[in-house]
Structure formats: C-alpha cells, structure tokens
Amino acid sequence: EIVLTQSPGTLSLSPGARATLSCRASQSVSNNYLAWYQQKPGQAPRLLIYGASNRATGIPDRFSGSGSGTDFTLAISRLEPEDFAVYYCQQYGRSPYTFGQGTKLEIK
C-alpha cells in the first residue's frame, strides 16, 4: 500500500499570506492520480484538486496543485478566512486508495 506523508502537521499563517502544503508518497503515484481535499469541522471532505494539478469544479484559482511521481504540493495564494481548515492528500492510482494524515491550516 502507498503511504502518504503530509507536512507540516500544522501551518499557522495570516489571511492574505501564501500557504504551501506538501504530500510525499512512498511509491510513485500511478497516472499522477493524486487529489487534495479540504475538510472543515462537522463536514465531509471537499475535492479541491484531482490528477495532481487540476482544479475541481467551482474551486477558486487561488488553489493550485503541482508535482508528479512521489512529491506533490498544494499551494493557496492569498489566504481567505474560509481557507483555514484541514487538508488531505489522497492517491487513487492504485488500490487500496490511501490518504495522508492531514495538514491543519490555522490562523496566526
């Protein structure tokens, strides 16, 4: 099974700042099938990015994904108050699908 390791565990930033979140895979992710999700308390995860770099429907362009193989990044430019949440990466290129442990983005 592919293990995904996210860093940092917690990121403290101010609104308007830029956030960079990392996801490293223990093996190469097939077809770069790497997704990013945002989760707020009491809610289901929401798909932000699929295929490593493609924004899902309705996702603002301040969210961007990059990377390939084993190293992936989610960047959020100009943080808005509603962006403070927990972010997860997930690989869906090979069964079993796996998730990272999450990065909590908190207001500084």
Partner 1 sequence: QVQLRQSGPGLVKPSQTLSITCAISGDSVSSNGGAWNWIRQSPSRGLEWLGRTYYRFKWYNDYAASVKSRIAINPDTSKNQFSLQLNSVTPEDTAVYYCAREEARHYYYYGLDVWGQGTKVTVSS
Chain mean position to CA 67: 11
Cis peptide before 15 (omega within 30 of 0): no
Instruction: Verify binding: residue 77, partner 1, rule CB under 8 A.
Output: no
Among 19, 29, 45, 67, which residue interacts with partner 1 (rule: CB under 8 A)?
A: 45
Among 51, 64, 73, 77, which residue interacts with partner 1 (rule: CB under 8 A)?
A: 51
Q: Judged by CB under 8 A, which stretch of 11-19, 20-28, 76-84, 86-94 contacts partner 1?
A: 86-94
Helix (H, G, I), strand (E, B) or coil at 86: strand
Minimum Å gap between C-beta 17 and partner 1 is 26
Q: Nearer Cβ to partner 1, position 1 or 106?
A: 1
Among 2, 22, 28, 47, which residue interacts with partner 1 (rule: CB under 8 A)?
A: 47
Which of 2, 3, 1 lies closest to 101 in space, CA to CA? 3
Other beta carbons less than 10 A from residue 41's beta carbon: 6
